[in-house]
Amino acid sequence: MSGIFRFSGDEDFFPKGSMHLSPGSCPGVYFPARKRLRIAAPSVFSGFEQKQTSIEVLPDECLFEILRRLPSGQERSACACVSKHWLNLLSSITRDEVNESNQDVEGEGFLSRSLEGKKATDLRLAAISVGASTRGGLGKLQIRGSGFDSKVTDAGLGSIAHGCPSLRVLSLWNLPAVGDMGLSEIARSCPMIEKLDLSRCPGITDNALVTIAENCVNLSELTIDSCSGVGNEGLRAIARRCVNLRSISIRSCPRIGDEGVAFLLAQAGSYLTKVKLQMLNITGLSLSVLGHYGAAITDLVLHGLQGVNEKGFWVMGNAKGLKKLKSLSVMSCRGMTDIGLEAVGNGCPDLKHVSLSKCLLVSGKGLVALAKSALSLESLKLEECHRINQFGFLGFLMNCGLKLKVFSLANCLGVRDFNPESPLPSTSCSSLRSLSIHNCPGFGDASLALLGKFCHQLQDVELCGLNGVTDAGVLELLQSNNVGLVKVNLSGCINVSDNTVSAVSVCHGHTLESLNLDGCKNITDASLVAVAKNCYSVNDLDISNTLVSDHGIKALASSPNHLNLQVLSVGGCSAITDKSKACIQKLGRTLLGLNIQRCGRISSSTVDTLLEHLWRCDILY
C-alpha cells in the first residue's frame, strides 16, 4: 500500500511489467490525471473501439433506390450537394424512376441556361438537370464548347434528358465529344423540342437526326452547321416526320447533296417559310425543286453554292412557285447572272428585299431588269459586285417602282463618278428614304449632285470612306432635300469639313437624331458649336478621331437647346483633356454610352470620377 501512496504519476506503476485495468473493474482505485501524449499511441481502450460506418459503403444500387424515393425535388437538390458521386446518381434518375407519390409537377420550361468554354462540363449539366425541376423547368439550353478541349460528352446530355423533359430549345456548338447517343437520348426524353441548333458536332450522324424526327414532332427550327457526319438520310427523315418545321438552315455539311436537299424541299416546301443553304455540294437541281415546290417560302438565303449554274437560278425564277418570297440573299454564287436575276424578279411577284454580295457576273443590265420586273421591291443591297457601274445603279433607281425605300452600295469597284455635264434623269425616285454608299473609291461629288437632284425624300444618308466626296457634293445632296434628315453618317470622308456640318445642322437641326463624323480629320470645334446651336433632337453623336478639343465639349454642355445626348463618342480625340471632366459630367445626366478610348490626355483619376458619377452610363476607356 505504501508504494501506491508514494506513486507520483511520472513513473511506471509496475517497473518490471505492464498491467491493463479498466476503470470499471476496480471501482475503489484512484487513477491520477496524466498528460495526453503528443504522438499517437495505442489506447488502453483500443479493444472497445468500433469502426465508423458510412452510407458511402452502400453499393450504387442501394443508393439509387434511396435517392429516387426522396419526397421532393428540394430534397434531391440538397442531396446533390453532398458529393459528385451523389450528384451523378441523382442526374441518372429519370422521371419514370422517381416514386410516383414523390414526383413534382413539371414546370413549363421557364428557365434558360448557357454554358461556354471551360464552364461547359458534364458535371454542370448534371447540376442543371437536378436543380431545374424545382425552379420552373428548363426550357432553353445553350452549350458552346471549346473544341477538342471540351468537357461535354454524351453523359452530360443524358443527364439533361433524364431531368429536363420540358426542354424546348437546344443549341450545341463546337462539341466534338458529343455523339448520337446523347442527342438520341435527348430526343426520346424531351419530345417538346421546337428549336435545335447543331454546329461543329462531328460525332452526330444521320442516326441522331432520325431519332429526332421520330420523337420531336413539334420541331419548327433546325440548324445544321459544319456537322460532317450528317448526310442525306437524316434530311429525308426530317422531311418525312417533322410537319411543323418552318425554318431550316444547312451550312458546310459535305455529305449533304441534291438527294437530301431536293427531297426536303419537295416534301416540306409547302410549309417551310425560311430556307438557308450555304456552302453545300448541290447543283441547279435543288434550286429547280425549290422554285417548283417552295410555295410557302418567304425568306431565302443562298450562299457559296459553287455547283449551281445560271440555269439553276433561271429555272428557280421561271418555275413561278415562289409566290410568297419576300426576302432573297445571294452571296458568292457564280450562277447568279443578269439572266438569273431577271428570272427571279419575274417569278417572285411579292419580292421586297434583295441582297447581292460577291455576285461577280451581275451588271447594271440585270439591275434594270430587276427594277422593271420586281414592282414590290423595297430595298436593294449590293456588295462587291464589281461589274456594276454608275450607269447601272442610276438606271435601277430610274426604273424602280414606287415602293423602293432603301438602296445600299458597298465596295463596288466598278462605280465611277459621273460627268458633271451628264443630262439629268427625267424622273425622280420619290420613294427612296435611305441611301448608303460605302467604300466605293470612284464615287465623288458629281454623283452626289446628281442623286441630290434625283432623290428628294431622303431621311437616312450614309457616305462612308469616300475620299472623292467634299463639302460641295454633300451640300448639293442636302440642298434639294424636301424632308428633314434623321441620320447622317460621314465617317471616313476625310475631305469633309465644318462647312458640311454647319449646313446639316442649319437645314436639318430640328429632325437630326444621329450624326457620325468618325475619322473626318478636318472637323473642329466649329462643328460642335453649330450642333449645339441648331440641333434639337440629336441623341447619338460620334466625333471620334477628329480635331475636336475641350472647347467643343464645353459648347455641347452649354447648348441652349439642352441636348439629350444618349451616346457620345470622342475616342481618339487627343485634344480633349481633363478640363472637359465637368462638361462630360453635365452631359452625362442623359448619357447611356460614352467612348473615351485613346484619349491620351484624359487621366485615370478623371476616368475614375466619371465611372463613379455616371453610374448608369456604359463607359469605354
Q: Where are the domains of the chain?
A: 352-419+427-457+469-479, 484-620
Region 240-260: mean pLDDT is: 97
Directed axis angle between helix 284-293 and helix 310-318, to 10°?
A: 10
Provide the pLDDT for residue 42. Answer: 47
pLDDT above 70 (res 124): yes
Query: According to the model, what pLDDT value does residue 99 have?
Result: 55
pLDDT on residue 281: 96
Give the model's pLDDT for residue 68.
Answer: 66
The 3-state DSSP class for residue 373 equals: helix
Residue of 596 and 123 predicted with greater confidence: 596
Q: Are strands 327-331 and 299-303 parallel, antiparallel or unpaired?
A: parallel
Q: What is the pLDDT of residue 561?
A: 83
Q: Name the average pLDDT for the chain.
A: 87
- Top-confidence residue, 491 or 450: 491
Q: pLDDT band for position 13 (50/70/90)?
A: very low
How confident is the model at residue 386, as a pLDDT? 95
What distance in Å separates the CA atoms of residue 571 and residue 576, rounded to the nearest whole number? 10
- Is the pLDDT reported for residue 608 higher than 90? yes
CATH class for the region spanning 484-620: alpha beta
Categorise residue 301: left if φ over 0, alpha if ψ from -120 to 50, beta otherwise: beta
262-283 pLDDT per residue, tens:
999 999 999 999 999 999 999 9
**Range name among 78-92, 202-216, 426-440 with the lowest pLDDT average:** 78-92
In the predicted structure, residue 58 carries a pLDDT above the cut 90: no
Q: Report residue 27's pLDDT band, with 50, 70 and 90 as the boundaries.
A: very low
Task: pLDDT band for 531, please (50, 70, 90 cuts).
Answer: very high
Give the residue carrying C-alpha cell 446518381: 89
Mean pLDDT of 79-98: 66
- Over residues 355-413, the pLDDT tens digits come to 999 999 999 999 999 999 999 999 999 999 999 998 998 899 988 878 999 999 999 99
Which of the four pLDDT bands, split at 50, 70 and 90, describes residue 38? very low
Per the CB < 8 A criterion, the answer to whether 194 and 220 are in contact is yes
Predicted local confidence at residue 81, as pLDDT: 66
Q: How far apart are CA 517 and CA 534, in angstroms?
A: 17
pLDDT value at 100 more than 70: no
DSSP notation for 4-58? HHH--SSS-SSTTS-----TTT-TT------PPPSS----TTGGG------GGGS
Weakest-pLDDT range from 14-28, 139-153, 565-579: 14-28
Q: Cell digits for 620?
A: 469605354
pLDDT band at 52 (very low <50, low <70, confident <90, very high): low
The whole-number average pLDDT for the span 552-571 is 93
User: Above 90 in pLDDT, residue 332?
Assistant: yes
* pLDDT given for residue 595 in this prediction: 97
Can you tell me the mean pLDDT for 311-337? Answer: 96
pLDDT over 70 (residue 48): no
Helix (H) or strand (E) segment spanning residue 197: strand 195-199
- Res 17: pLDDT: 45
Of 89-93, 224-228, 440-444, 567-571, the poorest mean pLDDT is in: 89-93
What's the pLDDT at 375?
A: 92
The predicted structure's pLDDT at residue 400: 86
Residue 132 banded pLDDT, cuts 50, 70, 90: confident
d(CA 156, CA 103): 22
